[in-house]
Amino acid sequence: MPKQFCRVFISLVCLVAQLAHAELSSNVIQQMFYPYANGMPSVDGLAPGTRISQDSWEAAQEYLPQEILERIKAGEFTFTVQDTTNLPVSEGFIAATTHYAEHVKIGADGELAGYVAGLPFPGLDPADPQAGLKAAWNLRYRDFGNIMQVWNTFRLVPESGPPEREIENYYVVAYGMHRPQTDGVNPNKWEKDGVLYKEFYHILAPFDLKNSMGLKLRYDRDRDNDDNWLYSPTSRKIRKIIVKQDEATYDSGFLNEDVLGYWGYVRACQWKLLGTRRLLVPAGVKAASATFGGRGNWYPVDPWELRDLFELECTPTANRHLYSKRVLYIDKQMFTPVYVLFYDEKGKHQKTLFELYGNPQYNPGNEHVRVPLWVGESMVDYENSLSSMTIVSKSVYNIPLPDEFFNLDRIMARGP
Give me the average pLDDT of each 10-residue run along the chain (416 residues).
44 38 68 92 96 98 98 98 96 94 94 96 94 98 95 97 96 94 78 97 96 97 97 94 89 90 97 97 97 98 98 95 97 98 96 98 95 97 96 95 92 84
Convert the pLDDT of each residue in 66-83 to its tens digit: 999 999 999 999 999 999
> Cα torsion for 290, 368, 279, 159, to the nearest 10°?
-10
Which phi and psi (to 5°) does residue 60 adopt? -95, 0
pLDDT for 237-293, tens place per residue? 999 999 999 888 877 889 999 999 999 999 999 999 999 999 999 999 999 999 999
Question: pLDDT per residue over 289-314, tens digit each?
Answer: 999 999 999 999 999 999 999 999 99
Torsion angle defined by CA atoms of residues 231, 264, 156 and 238, in that order, rounded to the nearest 10 degrees: 0
Q: What is the Cα–Cα distance from 195 to 174, expressed in whole angstroms?
A: 10
Rounded to whole angstroms, the Cα distance separating 7 from 292 reads 67
CA distance 34 to 24: 15
What dihedral do alpha carbons 376, 326, 178, 282 form, nearest 10°? -30
CB atoms near residue 22 (< 10 Å)? 10
- Sort strands 386-397 and 373-381 into parallel, antiparallel or unpaired: antiparallel
Burial (CB count within 10 angstroms: exposed 0-12, middle 13-18, buried 19+), residue 208? exposed
Distance in Å from the first CA to the final CA of the chain: 86
| Phi, psi (deg, nearest 5) at residue 133 | -65, -40
State residue 181's pLDDT score: 75
Residues written for the chain: 416
Q: What is the pLDDT of residue 184?
A: 67
Pairing of strands 283-285, 349-358: parallel
Q: Classify domain 131-414 at the CATH class level.
A: mainly beta
- Cis peptide bond prior to 206, omega within 30° of 0: yes
Report the distance separating Cα 244 and Cα 221, nearest Å: 18
- Residue ranges with strand state E in 242-304: 269-281, 283-285, 292-293, 299-300
The candidate with the shortest Cα–Cα distance to 331, out of 199, 138, 163, 178, is 138
DSSP per-residue codes, 62-111: TSS-HHHHHHHHTTS--EEB-PPPP----HHHHHHHHHHGGG-EE-TTSS
Domain extents in the chain: 1-33, 131-414
The pLDDT, as a whole number, for residue 21 is 42
How far is it, in rounded angstroms, from Cα 201 to Cα 10?
60
Looking at residue 415, what is its pLDDT?
Answer: 80
